[in-house]
Amino acid sequence: MFKIRLLVTALTLVGSISVASAWDALPTTVPAPADNPTTEEKVELGKMLYHDPRLSSTGTVSCASCHNTMLGGEDNRPNSMGVNGQTGGRSAPTVWNSAFNAVQFWDGRAASLEAQAAGPVTNPIEMGMKDWDAVVARLKTIKGYNEAFARAFGDNSVSKDNATKAIAAYERTLITPNSPYDKYVGGDKTALTEQQVRGMTKVAELGCTSCHSGAAFNGAGAFQKFPIHDNPYFAAQYHFKKDKGVAEVSKNEADEHFWKVPTLRNIALTAPYFHNGSVQTLEEAVKIMAKLQLDKDLSKEEIADIVAFLDSLTGEFPKQTMPTLPSTLGNTTN
């Protein structure tokens, strides 16, 4: 099932990553795939498509509705709201630094940003379009989009493939480097407070970086079982096992409760936490992870130190300007 079984199996290798290798600064650019080189015209088109609610059946929901680039790259809801007020069962992952994910979605069912961009548009709960043929037909009725696609891809180029390539090209610009942590590992030892350094040390001691490894603290595409350890109190309060994770897609019992390892970058901005958005605070999230993944009870001081370190992973956000969307000249596309 699109390499998920291989990735799940590879967890044994991820667990062997050394602590030292985890302390990498975030790159300031992301390499584009050979079949989708980044261009200014493509990025501009992608930004328009990303922010245009006309890609939804009701004309009310855009990619940015759930993945807000004016905030932490998601919507701070337990479950995102789609067309006609419907809500899904999972919390929206952040779009910031998503270009560093080896796979997309909580269950890793998309192998690229391009593949991910295609999904929500036709999901009946999210953006609700009948199919991509309907999306392309709608875009072709808008003169400004025909012109924008032509600038990015050439004449008569409005298509699903080019739309998702443009959105992915825009998303590859959504990188947040130069966090206090990045500055610290780059040599500025004044960039972190003493408490943040203590938290960084504790994260390494606990082994958190065995899963949250690499510059993006996202495990380089690894999957991990969650929760590992049962706890009746947390089970009753947060219902983590209600969703079977990767197994919901693979239909393989061995994949139950496996999830793509999420990034810790900008995590202070992305409450509520976990796949179902059931945990309101970062302090509680740290406590839960220690207990359910490591079977450890942390002191209040240890939790505070780790949270302080996680705060240091908030990077510098590139300035975002809202695009001017192509006009329908007095007509409606719905």
For residues 238 and 270, state if they share a domain: yes
For residues 303 and 219, state if they share a domain: yes
For residues 17 and 46, state if they share a domain: no
State whether residue 223 is helix, strand or coil.
Answer: strand
Residue 329 pLDDT: 72
256: in domain: yes
- Per-residue pLDDT for the chain (334 aa), expressed as one digit of tens each? 444 443 443 333 333 333 334 599 999 999 999 999 999 999 999 999 999 999 999 999 999 999 999 999 999 999 999 999 999 999 999 999 999 999 999 999 999 999 999 999 999 999 999 999 999 999 999 999 999 999 999 999 999 999 999 999 999 999 999 999 999 999 999 999 999 999 999 999 999 999 999 999 999 778 999 999 999 999 999 999 999 999 999 999 999 999 999 999 999 999 999 999 999 999 999 999 999 999 999 999 999 999 999 999 999 999 999 999 999 876 766 6
Round to whole Å and give the CA distance between 10 and 22. Answer: 17
Strands 258-260 and 223-225, how do they pair?
Answer: antiparallel
For residues 13 and 130, state if they share a domain: no
Q: Is the peptide bond before 33 cis (omega within 30 degrees of 0)?
A: no
- The last residue of one of the domains, among 147, 171, 195, is 171
For residues 256 and 273, state if they share a domain: yes
- Domain range for 82 is 40-171
Q: In the chain, how many domains are there? A: 2
319: in domain: no
325: in domain: no
- The last residue of one of the domains, among 119, 147, 171, is 171
152: in domain: yes
- The last residue of one of the domains, among 141, 171, 201, is 171
For residues 162 and 202, state if they share a domain: no
Residue 334 pLDDT: 62
Residue 333 pLDDT: 67
Residue 22 pLDDT: 58
Residue 3 pLDDT: 44
pTM for this model (two decimals): 0.92
Round to whole Å and give the CA distance between 209 and 294. Answer: 12
Residue 147 pLDDT: 98
Q: What is the DSSP string of 277-330?
A: T-B--HHHHHHHHHHHHH--PPPHHHHHHHHHHHHTT--PPPP--PPPPPP-TT
For residues 71 and 126, state if they share a domain: yes
Round to whole Å and give the CA distance between 78 and 63. Answer: 17
Query: How many other CB atoms are there within 10 angstroms of residue 70's CB atom?
Result: 9
Of 283, 285, 255, 263, residue with least CA distance to 273: 285
Which candidate in 126, 171, 284, 302 is catalytic? Answer: 126
334: in domain: no
145: in domain: yes
For the question of residue 126 being annotated catalytic, the response is: yes
142: in domain: yes
Return the residue matching tokens 């209600």: 242
Helix (H) or strand (E) holding 90: none
For residues 212 and 117, state if they share a domain: no
For residues 167 and 249, state if they share a domain: no
329: in domain: no
For residues 112 and 188, state if they share a domain: no
